[in-house]
Amino acid sequence: MAKKIYKRDPVASKQLIVDNAIKLFSKKGYAGASMDELSSMCHLNKAMVFYYFKNKKGLYEAVMEEILQEIYYTVIEENKLHDNPMDELEGFIKTYALFACTHPYLPALLLKELSDSGAVIPELLFASMRKLFSLFSDILKRGEEQGCFKDVVPMILYFMVLGTLNLLVTTKSLRIEAAKLDDIDVDTCATCDIDEISVYLIKKIKLMLKEDR
């Protein structure tokens, strides 16, 4: 008679919702995502979403909080392995790049949120971005003090790193498409893997910071 499987595992169910919400929100954006579609992705009843989360916005906040925390802790943990600004900077970029590549919903969600200064969750986004930026800024500032980085404007450099990496991740399918059509001499980096990209980016950022002019 059991025509349905009742999981009755609240932790698992909640996580299931969050996981699918990440997928959905990153694909369709906040407004474009429907709770109906979400629940059917989870093979769960629609009302369950509202049982675990206050409302759509609450779910979105939970989703964003989760992924923003995840990237933050990933980066900060990796950062502990290094003891000089040069390595720390390299580590920051490499780690962010790898994370963005293996969790491609992060760039999608981040760019969407940043594209309107966090219209949906200003405070949360605000706090998270600040924490990550603080770390990045600290690295550069210390590097400047130690004389290995010159002419540093952390905010701009921060968006340079994040902008480049996030856009390269989100446009991957677009660039692959382009590669099929484009002339021989235009390279869209369609086949570049994330390591090549971050190596190049690191090299260039280092060149940037080596001298004043």
Helix pair angle (122-145, 85-102), 10° resolution: 150
Stretch that binds a second copy, among 12-20, 37-45, 83-91, 150-158 (CB under 8 A): 150-158
Among 36, 87, 177, 195, binds a second copy (CB under 8 A): 177
48's contact among a second copy, DNA, none, with CB below 5 to 8 A by partner kind, is DNA
Helix pair angle (10-32, 35-42), 10° resolution: 150
**How far, in Å, are 21, 55, 196 from residue 60 at the CA level?**
8, 9, 33
Would you give the binding string for a second copy spanning residues 81-120, x where CB under 8 A is met?
--------------------------xxx-xx-xxxxxx-
148's contact among DNA, a second copy, none, with CB below 5 to 8 A by partner kind, is none
**How far, in Å, are 2, 37, 43 from residue 6 at the CA level?**
9, 20, 11
How far apart, in whole angstroms, are the C-alpha atoms of residue 35 and residue 50? Answer: 9
Q: Does 47 bind a second copy (CB under 8 A)?
A: no
9: CB partners within 8 A, 6+ apart:
none
DSSP output for 29-56: HHHH--HHHHHHHHTS-HHHHHHHSSSH
Give the total of residues touching a second copy (CB under 8 A).
64
Q: Does 175 bind DNA (CB under 7 A)?
A: no
Q: What is the binding site for a second copy (CB under 8 A)?
A: 26-32, 107-109, 111-112, 114-119, 122, 125-126, 129-130, 133-134, 137, 141, 151, 153-156, 159-160, 162-164, 166-168, 170-175, 177-178, 182, 185-189, 197, 200-201, 203-204, 207-208, 210-211, 213
